[in-house]
Structure 1
Amino acid sequence: MGGVLTGTTCEVFMIVITAPTGNIGSHLVPLLLADAPAHGEELRVIARDPARLPVEVRENVEVITGSHGDAEVVDRAFEGADAVFWLVPPDSSRPPADAWSGFTRPAAKALAAHGVGHVVGVSALGRGTPVAERAGLVTASLAMDELIAETGVAYRALANPSFFENLLEEVGSIREKGVFTDVVDADRKAPLVAIADIAAVAGRLLLDRSWTGVGDVAVLGPEDLSPRDLARIMTEQLGRPVRYERQSLEDLRTTLLGYGLDEAFVQGIADMKQAKDNGLDAGVARTADTASPTTFAQWCAHTLKPAVLA
Structure 2
Amino acid sequence: MSKHIVVTGATGNIGSALVHTLLQQGHRVTAVARPSQRFDALQAAGATTHPGDLHDTASLTEALRGADAVFLMIPPNVTAPDVLAHMRQVGESLVDAVRAADLKQAVFLSSIGADQLAGTGPVVGVHHQEARLKAVDGLQVAYLRPAYFMENFLANIDLIQHMGIIGSAMRPDLAFPMVATQDIAAKAAELLNQGFEAGSVHYILGPQSYTMQQVAQVIGQAIGRPDLPYVQFPYDQAKQGMVQAGLSENMASLYDEMTRNMNEEKVMVKEERTPASTSPTTLQQFVETVFVPAFQGATAAQPA
Shared topology, TM-score over 0.5? yes
> Could you tell me the percent identity over the aligned residues?
25
Distance apart, 1:54 and its partner CA: 4.6
Aligned with 1:309 (options 280, 296, 301): 296
Aligned with 1:201 (options 187, 190, 211): 187
CA distance in 1, matches of 2:188, 2:232: 33
Aligned with 1:255 (options 197, 219, 241): 241
Distance apart, 1:308 and its partner CA: 2.2
Distance apart, 1:86 and its partner CA: 1.1
Aligned with 1:96 (options 56, 72, 83): 83
Q: What SS is found at the alignment partner of 1:46?
A: strand
Aligned with 1:22 (options 9, 12, 16): 12
Aligned with 2:211 (options 226, 238, 244): 226
CA distance in 1, matches of 2:164, 2:242: 22
Kindly report the root-mean-square deviation, in angstroms, between the aligned alpha carbons of the 2 structures.
Answer: 2.0
Q: Could you say if the C-alpha distance between residues 213 and 259 of structure 1 is closer, same or farther in structure 2, counting changes exceeding 3 Å?
A: same
Q: Could you say if the C-alpha distance between residues 259 and 302 of structure 1 is closer, same or farther in structure 2, counting changes exceeding 3 Å?
A: closer
CA distance in 1, matches of 2:33, 2:16: 12
CA distance in 2, matches of 1:253, 1:103: 26
Contact 1:237 1:301 in 2 (8 A): yes
Distance apart, 1:283 and its partner CA: 4.3
1:190 counterpart letter in structure 2: F
Q: Which residue is 2:300 aligned to?
A: none
Q: Could you say if the C-alpha distance between residues 259 and 172 of structure 1 is closer, same or farther in structure 2, counting changes exceeding 3 Å?
A: closer
CA distance in 2, matches of 1:260, 1:220: 29
2:232 counterpart letter in structure 1: R
Q: Which residue is 2:120 aligned to?
A: 135
Q: Which residue is 1:9 aligned to?
A: none
CA distance in 2, matches of 1:164, 1:55: 24
Q: Which residue is 2:3 aligned to?
A: 13
1:262 counterpart letter in structure 2: S
Contact 1:178 1:242 in 2 (8 A): yes
- How many pairs were matched up? 293
Distance apart, 1:13 and its partner CA: 3.2
Q: What SS is found at the alignment partner of 1:126?
A: coil
Q: Does 1:144 align with 2:129?
A: yes
Aligned with 2:166 (options 155, 173, 180): 180
Runs (4+) of structure 1 exceeding 6 A deviation are none
CA distance in 1, matches of 2:55, 2:223: 40
Q: Deviations over 1:216-275 (max 9, x none)?
A: 211100010011111222222222121111112211222333455433322212112222
Distance apart, 1:194 and its partner CA: 0.4
Q: Which residue is 2:54 aligned to?
A: 68
Distance apart, 1:213 and its partner CA: 2.2
Distance apart, 1:47 and its partner CA: 2.1
- Map residues 259-278 of structure 1 onto 2, 5 A cutoff: 259=245, 261-278=247-264
Contact 1:90 1:99 in 2 (8 A): no
Aligned with 2:96 (options 109, 124, 127): 109
Aligned with 2:64 (options 78, 95, 120): 78
Q: What SS is found at the alignment partner of 1:144?
A: helix
CA distance in 1, matches of 2:242, 2:23: 38
Aligned with 2:230 (options 228, 238, 244): 244
Contact 2:39 2:49 in 1 (8 A): no
Q: What SS is found at the alignment partner of 1:251?
A: helix
Q: Could you say if the C-alpha distance between residues 42 and 264 of structure 1 is closer, same or farther in structure 2, counting changes exceeding 3 Å?
A: same
Contact 1:156 1:217 in 2 (8 A): yes
Q: Could you say if the C-alpha distance between residues 125 and 235 of structure 1 is closer, same or farther in structure 2, counting changes exceeding 3 Å?
A: same
Contact 2:169 2:232 in 1 (8 A): yes
CA distance in 2, matches of 1:128, 1:30: 30
1:81 counterpart letter in structure 2: A
Q: Structure 1-normalised TM-score?
A: 0.88
Q: Which residue is 1:124 aligned to?
A: 111
CA distance in 2, matches of 1:230, 1:22: 23
1:288 counterpart letter in structure 2: P
Q: Which residue is 2:301 aligned to?
A: none
Q: Does 1:192 align with 2:182?
A: no
Q: Which residue is 1:212 aligned to?
A: 197
Gap regions ≥5 residues in structure 1: 5-11
Distance apart, 1:282 and its partner CA: 2.8
Contact 1:120 1:156 in 2 (8 A): yes
Q: Deviations over 1:105-125 (max 9, x none)?
A: 111012122221111121211
CA distance in 1, matches of 2:81, 2:191: 31
